[in-house]
Chains A and B, each alone.
Chain A
């Protein structure tokens, strides 16, 4: 079945440093979504990418979808303590049902002030 792998599992950065998390799928994805989960909270939707090679920006966050629609990345420029949390990618599978989003295990980001 479809698998979505995320690396790294953990990332510790100094405030002001950049951060990147990578997501790779074993199959071609119909779309990819990114979520952020704060400690003790629930996943909160950040963005959805649909097109091959798509790049979207939200302030200091840059999201990319690979040309083959099998990988994606989230890059945060100049991290702040408010960026702390776990970032999940979730892939929609062409072969699966439309609502069956497969989540990666997440990258837990900690930011030292």
Chain B
């Protein structure tokens, strides 16, 4: 596609529910990144993929967070048993590959856990 697309743009969920956030990267981009951005803060690295392989998941806060990119294109970030502290903007970015790392960010998903 023309840019990185994330859905939904906004998600309100009740504490304890699972949520799945979707990212559709720029077509042909090898690398895909997930970040979390709190208000007034910089993006915080969560995980990244090259093709379908998860290269680094060191930024995932705990085992309630997981991500996949089964066919090397669309990715899903899943948060199980959501907690209020999970509320944030979740941003996906993609880059041509892991050498040409200019990252193109999507508009993000604003997650609110009530």
Instruction: Say yes or no for A42: interface residue by CB 8 A criterion.
Output: yes
Write the nearest CB–CB distance from B105 to chain A, whole angstroms.
4
User: Is A97 in contact with B56, judged by CB distance below 8 angstroms?
Assistant: yes
User: Is B56 in contact with A99, judged by CB distance below 8 angstroms?
Assistant: yes
Instruction: Say yes or no for A88: interface residue by CB 8 A criterion.
Output: yes
Q: How far is the CA of A102 from the CA of B44 in the complex (A)?
A: 7
In the complex with contacts A98-B98, A99-B55, A100-B48, A106-B42 CB distance below 8 A: yes
Chain B 21-59 residues near chain A, CB threshold 8 A = 31, 33, 35, 40-45, 48, 50, 55-56, 58-59
- Chain B residues with CB under 8 Å of A108's CB are 40
- Chain A residues with CB under 8 Å of B55's CB are 97-99
Write the nearest CB–CB distance from B54 to chain A, whole angstroms.
10
- Chain B residues with CB under 8 Å of A98's CB are 55, 98-99, 101
Chain B 68-111 residues near chain A, CB threshold 8 A = 91, 93, 95, 98-99, 101-108
- Chain A residues with CB under 8 Å of B44's CB are 103
26 contacts between A and B (CB under 8 A): A31-B101, A42-B106, A42-B108, A43-B91, A43-B103, A43-B105, A44-B105, A88-B42, A97-B48, A97-B55, A97-B56, A98-B55, A98-B98, A98-B99, A99-B48, A99-B55, A99-B95, A99-B98, A101-B45, A101-B101, A101-B103, A102-B45, A103-B43, A103-B44, A104-B42, A106-B41
**4 smallest beta-carbon distances between A and B, as pairs:** A103-B42, A99-B48, A97-B56, A42-B105
Extra 19 A-B pairs, beta carbons < 8 Å, given A43-B93, A45-B104, A101-B101: A6-B42, A33-B101, A42-B106, A43-B43, A45-B103, A48-B101, A88-B42, A90-B42, A92-B101, A96-B56, A98-B55, A98-B101, A99-B33, A100-B56, A100-B59, A101-B33, A103-B35, A103-B42, A106-B41
